């Protein structure tokens, strides 16, 4: 085992994304910069009787074009997204497993909810057709760790492999824990991120009952409006965002193309409420501060924050407060945007696609907008890059996410 170093440098060498705005990173990034919105009427089920009837679905997607059709039938929709996005990321990294030590390649891909489609369809089978008609693949299809297991089988990767489940902070935690594993010397390469497919009747019924989702059904593409005074709840999305991380030494030794460095990570808890963020932003501000410290960066060295920005009354205001606490006077100079205005909220996969966006912002030097920001909320008074992308020098980016249960996570990416 290599010598443990808490500041071993870790870099991003591969990206994968499947979203409502594109089935690959190139299409996704182009549509994000263009301010396109992937939200429309729900087509995956009849949402007529629901208070929220809109979502950011992955349309025109055929998993059988990207994985064994037999495995498609055996696995849940969320697994299809995560497995195929991971294949993209590994290909993008030009990772050749024939040249790797399989014991030093790991996988951490999380899901906040897991196989909701499987749970609902198999429960219907049980009620309507009896226990003998429940699929023998039900259990492996619904559990949240199955993406990581399938990716490891595909790659032959025998390194650290487990699933993070922390609601909407899941993928950010998965990426951060992968950073720690590489730093510890347990692995050279980690495939990490999140996958989610919870646009289902039961999931929508639950979130609608909580009154957490937007009811702006008449204007789907205007419904997700983070930091806007007229926001009325989040809009659900689905898909997956995956990164390939490597130690800098390993990436250089194999001649890998390096996007940027993943320099910092922190995880905290509000210890306040099961669904509502701490109104003083204590837990989130602590996560941000610790991530900066871990990255050995000052607050004024961050140029852009990809915010959690859910378009809910509580989150956007309290997240803004946390940013002001951590960044002080520099908060006014920061570019902050919520790309959930375009992608919807991918729950456990949100941090995965937002990490992809953060990496691309550094690579390309463009910051995506917060669309639908038309009536600024007086309590949300930062530069949210309203409606139009911005060309800028992006040296370092923070991406943060919050989850039910009070869980917070923050990542810091920087130029190499």
pLDDT in tens, 96-141: 999 999 999 999 999 999 999 999 999 999 999 999 999 999 999 9
Tokens representing 416? 């190499």
- Cα torsion 294, 301, 314, 403: sign: negative
Output the pLDDT for position 233.
97
Q: For the chain, what is the radius of gyration of the CA atoms?
A: 20
Tokens representing 131? 């226990």
pTM, rounded to two decimals: 0.97
Active site residues: 168, 308, 345
Identify the residue whose tokens are 């922390």.
166
Selected from 3.40.47.10, 3.40.605.10, 1.10.3720.10, 3.30.70.1140, the CATH number assigned to the domain covering 265-414 reads 3.40.47.10
Pick left, alpha or beta for residue 271 (phi over 0 → left; psi -120 to 50 → alpha; otherwise beta): left
User: Percent of the chain having pLDDT more than 70?
Assistant: 99
Model confidence at 5, pLDDT cuts 50, 70, 90, reads low
The answer, yes or no, to whether residue 359 has pLDDT greater than 80, is yes
219-267 pLDDT tens trace: 999 999 999 999 999 999 999 999 999 999 999 999 999 999 999 999 9
Output the pLDDT for position 3.
43
The answer, yes or no, to whether residue 4 has pLDDT greater than 50, is no
195-214 pLDDT tens trace: 999 999 999 999 999 999 99
What are the residue ranges of CATH 3.40.47.10 in the chain?
Answer: 10-253, 265-414
Output the pLDDT for position 7.
72
CA distance 46 to 48: 6
42-95 pLDDT tens trace: 999 999 999 999 999 999 999 999 999 999 999 999 999 999 999 999 999 999
Output the pLDDT for position 39.
98
Beta bridge partners of 391: 366
The CATH code belonging to domain 10-253 is 3.40.47.10
Classify residue 336 by its DSSP letter. Answer: E
Identify the residue whose tokens are 């701490």.
278
The values of phi and psi at residue 96, to 5°, are -105, 105
């Amino acid at each position: 085992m290599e010598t443990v170093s808490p500041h071993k440098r870790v870099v991003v060498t591969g990206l994968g994304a499947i979203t409502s705005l594109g089935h690959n990173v190139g299409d996704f990034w182009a549509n994000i910069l263009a301010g396109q919105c992937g939200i429309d009427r729900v087509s995956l089920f009849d949402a007529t009787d629901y208070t929220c009837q809109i979502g950011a679905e992955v349309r025109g997607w055929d998993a059988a074009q990207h994985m064994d059709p037999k495995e498609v039938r055996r696995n849940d929709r969320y697994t299809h997204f995560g497995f195929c996005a991971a294949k993209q990321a590994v290909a993008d990294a030009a990772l050749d497993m024939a040249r790797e030590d399989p014991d030093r390649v790991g996988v951490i891909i999380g899901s906040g909810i897991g196989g909701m489609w499987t749970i609902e369809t198999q429960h219907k089978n049980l009620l309507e057709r009896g226990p003998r008609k429940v699929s023998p693949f039900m259990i492996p299809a619904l559990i949240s760790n199955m993406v990581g297991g399938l990716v490891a089988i595909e790659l032959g990767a025998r390194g650290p492999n487990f699933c993070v489940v922390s609601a909407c902070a899941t993928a950010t935690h998965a990426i951060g824990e992968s950073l720690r594993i590489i730093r510890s010397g347990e692995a050279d390469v980690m495939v990490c991120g999140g996958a989610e497919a919870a646009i289902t009747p039961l999931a929508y019924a639950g979130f609608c009952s909580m009154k957490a989702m937007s009811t702006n059904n008449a204007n789907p593409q205007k419904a997700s409006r983070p930091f806007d005074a007229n926001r009325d709840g989040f809009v659900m999305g689905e898909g997956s965002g995956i990164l390939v991380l490597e130690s800098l030494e390993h990436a250089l030794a194999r001649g890998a193309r390096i996007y940027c460095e993943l320099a910092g990570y922190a995880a905290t808890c509000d210890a306040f409420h099961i669904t509502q963020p701490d109104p003083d932003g204590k837990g989130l501000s602590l996560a941000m501060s610790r991530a900066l410290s871990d990255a050995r960066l000052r607050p004024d060295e961050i140029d852009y924050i990809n915010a959690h920005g859910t378009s809910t009354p509580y989150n956007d205001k309290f997240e803004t407060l946390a940013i002001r606490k951590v960044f002080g006077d520099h908060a006014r100079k920061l570019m902050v945007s919520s790309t959930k205005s375009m992608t919807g909220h991918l729950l456990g996969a949100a941090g995965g696609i937002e990490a992809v966006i953060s990496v691309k912002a550094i690579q390309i030097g463009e910051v995506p907008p917060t669309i639908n920001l038309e009536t600024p909320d007086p309590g949300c008074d930062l530069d949210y890059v309203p409606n139009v992308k911005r060309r800028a020098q992006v040296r370092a980016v923070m991406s943060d996410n919050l989850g039910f249960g009070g869980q917070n996570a923050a990542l810091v990416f920087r130029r190499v």
